[in-house]
Chains A and B, each alone.
Chain A
Amino acid sequence: MLTRRVIPCLDTRDGRVVKGVSFQALRDAGAPAERARRYEEDGADEIVLLDVTATTDRRAHALATVRAVREVLGIPLTVGGGVRTVEDAAALLGAGADKVAVNTAAMQTPDLLTELATRFGQQCITLSVDASARPDGEGWSVVIRAGTEWTDRGAVDWAVEGARLGAGEILLTSVDRDGTLAGYDLALTAAVARAVRVPVVASGGARGADDLVAALRAGADGALAASIFHDGVCSVQDIKQRMAEAGLEVRP
């Protein structure tokens, strides 16, 4: 049986791991390669590397960071942040990414997903969907440009469309919860997981092992977290033990 994934996320800027609340107020949390390697040894199933400032800054992703992480990492590496073209994706994959995550550019040019999937394969392409609850309580809207620009597009609807166009995975982040330690948005996670056939990774708001277990029970195939790992709140092994106790398939 396929196991559920625990995925530490390294939000990076200028070659350093940073983490902020709702994408803002970034603080330093060390060198990415060293952290990635430590998380692999702790049992992480995958590492996600997101350059959180890339989209706003309009600058190329730090390929050197990807190369440095790849050199020491023996598990899958997903890289996102500022991917706008097939060439951007090719450069990241060439540097050692196994999957690329696209966000803002896919909203602006949905055909990009199809181009990427045709060139690199569906399993290489992660659609990163940043979602925020609508003020009227009617579902969730997609937010782009590193969480700064609200759109009229429904998040569930966009996830379905993205998978149809070629995304092989949905990385679903609640920008309302991101960095807040308020727990994942489980209603959002369940709604998207029900709507698509591709795997869904829940992100945004984990404060402890129980939150990851809850997201996986809500239908996510993987759960992503950053602060709780960087701050030593819990280890990957702590979480996996809790997952096993909850009856979820887990890689020891």
Chain B
Amino acid sequence: MPNETLAVIDTGSANLASVLGAVRRLGVAVASTRDPDVVRRADRVVLPGVGAFGNVMQRLAGGGLVDATRERVESGRPLLAVCLGLQVLATDSEESPGVAGLGVLRARVCRFPDTVPVPQLGWNLVEPVPGSALVQPGYAYFANAYHLGGAADGWVAAWATHGVRFVAALERGPQLACQFHPELSGAWGAALLRRWMDAC
């Protein structure tokens, strides 16, 4: 895919190298960005995030990236959100009370119950509902203490279970939001990234 651009929003998150490496292994040129115009215009955009909900929102706000990222999602143009990247699409999170998310998903982010190890660190079975085009059943790598509280209108969900049934991924055309890390999910994750690229 010559001349196509893939921009990874630099949310100051620690998994940038893994995301960049996974995309490079697929043979696609990639660069990280903090430029709102690039976030609006790039052919494909990745919104990564690890750390805390409040930190990622603060980082987006500090770079003037809140509006550009929200517009990107609302426009329906190609987007991949990973882990906290998915969570900041929600209205808010129990992790950072009082901090507003991007609010494009009408759902809250909640902590896992006390009955299971938290954070969830490891591979869990992802089960898409019928109608999923991108996500297929399989094991994905998760590293999260919080999860999206419910599915969102207009998005097709995939589910997993850790104490509770939770949203593992949401997809809507060329937009894919994953609670798991496709960049760390081995051959299954690489195939998912490939399908997302091909759908863009």
Contacts and interface: CB of A to CB of B under 8 A. Distances in A.
Given A74-B183, A119-B51, A95 B17 contact: yes
A2 B187 contact: no
A98 B184 contact: yes
Nearest to A120: B14
A74 B26 CA distance: 11
A7 to B, nearest CB: 10
Contacts of A124: 14, 50-51, 143
Interface stretch (B38-46, B74-82, B99-107, B116-124): B116-124
B184 A123 contact: no
B contacts with A: majority SS: mixed
Contact of B121 (A71, A97, A221): A221
A121 interface: yes
A3 B14 contact: no
B185 A74 contact: yes
A198 B119 contact: yes
A75 B145 contact: no
B85 interface: no
Contacts of B14: 90, 93-94, 98, 120-121, 124
A71 B183 CA distance: 12
Contacts of A119: 51
Size bracket, chain B contacts: 35 or more
A70 B122 contact: no
Interface residues of A, number: 39
A2 B145 contact: no
Given A74-B184, A168-B119, A1 B145 contact: no
A59 interface: no
A172 B116 CA distance: 19
Given A120-B50, A251-B139, A3 B21 contact: no
A221 B124 CA distance: 13
Contact of A251 (B16, B22, B119, B123): B123
Contacts of A251: 123, 139
Nearest to B163: A2
A95 B21 CA distance: 10
A76 interface: yes
Contacts of A38: none
A197 B118 contact: yes
B39 to A, nearest CB: 22
Contacts of B18: 70, 77, 96, 98
Most buried by A among B18, B51, B122, B144: B122
A93 B17 contact: yes
Contacts of B185: 74-75
A94 B145 CA distance: 22
B186 A74 contact: yes
A121 B51 contact: yes
Interface in A82-116: 90, 93-99
Interface of A: 1-5, 40, 45-46, 70-71, 73-77, 90, 93-99, 118-124, 168-169, 197-199, 221-222, 251-252
Interface of B: 14-18, 21-22, 24-25, 50-52, 114, 116-125, 139, 141-145, 161-162, 181, 183-187, 189-190
Shortest beta-carbon contacts, A-B, top 7 = A121-B51, A93-B14, A96-B17, A123-B143, A123-B119, A251-B123, A251-B139
